[in-house]
Amino acid sequence: MDNVPDPIIQQPTDAIVRITSTAICGSDLHLYKVLSPLMRAGDIIGHEPMGVVEEVGRDVEHIKPGDRVVVPFNISCGHCYFCDQDLYYQCETTRDTGKLAEASSLLGRGKGASLFGYTHVYGAVPGGQAEYLRVPQAHFGPIKVPEGPPDERFLYLSDVLPTAWQAVAYADTPQGGTLGVWGLGPIGQMCARIAMQQGVGRVIGVDTVPERLSLAARYGVETLDFNAVDRVGDVVLEMTGGRGVDAGIDAVGMEASGSAVASILQATKLQLDRATALRECMASIRRGGTLSISGVYAGPIQAFQLGDLFDMQIQVRMGQANVRRWVDDILPLLTDEDPLGVEDLKTHEMTLDDAPHAYEIFQKKQDGAIKCVLKP
Ligand SMILES: NC(=O)c1ccc[n+]([C@@H]2O[C@H](COP(=O)([O-])OP(=O)(O)OC[C@H]3O[C@@H](n4cnc5c(N)ncnc54)[C@H](O)[C@@H]3O)[C@@H](O)[C@H]2O)c1
Ligand SMILES: [Zn+2]
Ligand SMILES: [Zn+2]
């Protein structure tokens, strides 16, 4: 934690938001560990903020000082080639075209849109785990939300809810069919709830953290502890008549646990990503099914079973969430009835000064931490 100058308006499309709540994401944990070489001293982290508009630039019309807003984690202009196709994470106006961003794409294609608080390959934009945030492209990004319910009702519109919504949409499980969800962190929990809300028949959820398994079970998920079985795929096949789940969501990403070999490859930098959960997910999907990846991956994966995916005719869809694409679908559910139960995700509320402790318990899955919300 450090003190920095308050941000000021730099462009006519900027806004300044006074942050009232700001959450820590599984994606921040990647920066905290495996992606930390991409960080520089003085970088401000955080991409799940909400608060009150303090000031707007002259081109910002849909929000005004005093409005209560949630800020999407990706920064999109709303009117470029990709934004016009609802691919807000691919925004051409904000994508980082710097040398580092270009070099970090092995295909030589650069990176997607700038992200708040996400290093020097995603625009080096100061993030939202702070008292004040400068919001670029504020003529489009910030989502105005109603007064009344607590912040925790709307906060997850910044990331968790649209990410989970997109993962479920991409999974495209048939009505009454079976969805497998790997990882029962905030993203996986919400994937399960959204899928059931939309008429999926069964959700099988895989994790090992007791509090996360039991929270999912409370919502009707059939849970599986990956440390309690030999091969997750075998158990999932047993549970699904020998065929596998219709669709699988990987909500774990590059820091999956459960394989010593993968950990050594990552520690020795032979492989950036630990793909244990992804492989188990792939081994559990039925032929002709769908693999939806929302867990973040950053590099090549060795001995990747592409041929098996091909033979099994598995469709793969993935990527960062195009946040604004899903907001109009989600907002009507954040009503008094709170059908998704979003408010129970938060296990810890702390001040900004407690952020180092929050990171530690969230990373180590201690003290029942599922979602830590900081209150500046
Ligand atoms: N696509 C997007 O736009 C987007 C947005 C937000 C987060 N994410 C990514 O989604 C992932 C999950 O985020 P989160 O906030 O829920 O994080 P989290 O760290 O709280 O959750 C990850 C969960 O995966 C579990 N896990 C670890 N290894 C596993 C394995 N082998 N099998 C099954 N489960 C395993 C962990 O116990 C943990 O509960 C992260 O990779 C994050 O970067 C992506
Ligand atoms: Zn996030
Ligand atoms: Zn754009």
**Ligand 1 pocket, 345 CB below 6 A?**
no
Which protein residue's CA is at the shortest distance from atom 5 of ligand 1? Answer: 163
- Give the 3-state secondary structure of residue 364: helix
The confidence band for 271, taking pLDDT boundaries of 50, 70 and 90, is low
Give me the helices (H) in the chain, please. Answer: 26-32, 99-103, 151-154, 160-171, 186-197, 210-218, 232-239, 260-267, 276-282, 306-311, 323-330, 355-364
Q: Which residue type sits at 364?
A: K
Split at pLDDT 50, 70, 90, the class of 196 is: very high
Measured from the Cα of 296, ligand 1's closest atom is 41
53-87 tens-digit pLDDT: 999 999 999 999 999 999 999 999 999 999 999 99
Q: List, in order of start, the domains of the chain with CATH numbers.
A: 15-159+322-375 (3.90.180.10), 163-318 (3.40.50.720)
Q: Is the predicted pLDDT of residue 269 greater than 80, yes or no?
A: no
Percentage of the chain lying above the pLDDT 70 cut:
99
CB distance 185 to ligand 1 below 6 Å: yes
Q: Is the CB of 7 under 6 A from ligand 1?
A: no
Average pLDDT over residues 217-244: 97
Position 336 pLDDT exceeds 90: no
| 72 CB near ligand 1 (under 6 Å) | no
Mutate which of 74, 296, 364 for ligand 1 pocket (most atoms within 8 A of beta carbon): 296
| 67, 52 Cβ separation under 8 angstroms | yes
236 pLDDT above the threshold of 70? yes
Give, for ligand 1, the residue of 47, 207, 223, 232 to mutate: max count of ligand atoms closer than 8 Å to Cβ.
207
DSSP 370: S
CA 187 / ligand 1 centre spacing (Å)? 7
pTM over 0.75: yes
